[in-house]
Amino acid sequence: MDENRLQIQNFIRATFTEQRKQLDVNDQRNLVDTFLAKQQEGKPESTLYFHDDNLTGLVANLFAAGMETTSTTLRWGLLLMMKYPNIQKKVQDEIEKVIGTAQLRLEHRKQMPYTDAVVHEILRFGDIAPGSVPHATSQDVTFRGYFIPKGTTVIPVLSSALREKSYFEKPYEFHPEHFLDSKGNFKKADAFIPFSIGKRSCAGETLAKMELFLFFTTLLQHFTFQAPPGAVLDLTPALGATNAPLPYEMCAIPRI
């Protein structure tokens, strides 16, 4: 693990070192450019906070916490669309009704409640981070009769909320209607916390939801996904730090 972590850190450092050579503070292309520009401002925080070690950690965190989780969620989404072609068809019908062959924009999400509900249900059903990430108590606390000393590592079990039958009618099934009201409008669910909850919840929640809607909807706009002949679609998650789907093959059939 240490060898892998060192290899990733060296790659990140080499990448932003090269990017520093091309930096134009008046034309900042991305987050790394903005961070590098902060280094050059000459303020106390430039050296206190905006140093190379922090930049390395920031990019590594964004990659590990953002890219892997988003790609895993999309893998669940495509697997579930193959497993439930009737749901895939409903999503594509809504796509045709709202945007047709036009360029998808984030504003379309409000006009596509069924697709939005499917994306949320993929996040709930996939439950890719059932134990969230370890937290620690910042002070002594008593919770439901249990005393938890300051500094105690706490691992929340998000699955207990995402599978709570008092909030979700069919907690162990893939059921987009969990996020639709009787009129077909999108509705929120209080127990929907795949990004955790509270002040230390995932900082990338809003970005992740935007990405998933845009990527998932664009894929279904352009392709219909089917399993190869004779393939068995298994929804059992693979063992690991996250709940990822088992490896599978698929056929992507162009639509437009």
Tens of pLDDT, residue by residue, the chain (256 residues): 678 888 888 999 999 899 999 989 899 988 899 999 998 888 888 888 999 999 998 888 887 777 888 999 999 999 999 999 999 999 999 999 999 999 999 999 999 999 999 999 999 999 999 988 888 999 999 999 999 999 999 988 999 999 999 999 999 999 999 999 999 999 999 999 999 988 888 878 888 999 999 999 999 999 999 999 999 999 999 988 789 999 999 999 999 7
* C-alpha dihedral sign at 145, 147, 150, 152: negative
Q: Where are the domains of the chain?
A: 73-131+158-254
Closest CA to 191 of 236, 156, 148, 154: 156
57-63: long-range contacts (C-beta < 8 A, 24 or more apart)?
Answer: 58/31, 59/12, 59/15, 59/16, 59/32, 60/8, 60/9, 60/12, 62/31, 62/204, 63/8
User: How far is residue 175's CA from residue 90's CA, in Å, rounded to a whole number?
Assistant: 13
Asked whether 129 and 242 are in contact (CB, 8 A), the reply is: yes
How many C-beta neighbours within 10 Å does residue 105 have?
9
CATH number of 73-131+158-254: 1.10.630.10
Closest CA to 94 of 79, 84, 83, 104: 104
The pTM score is: 0.82
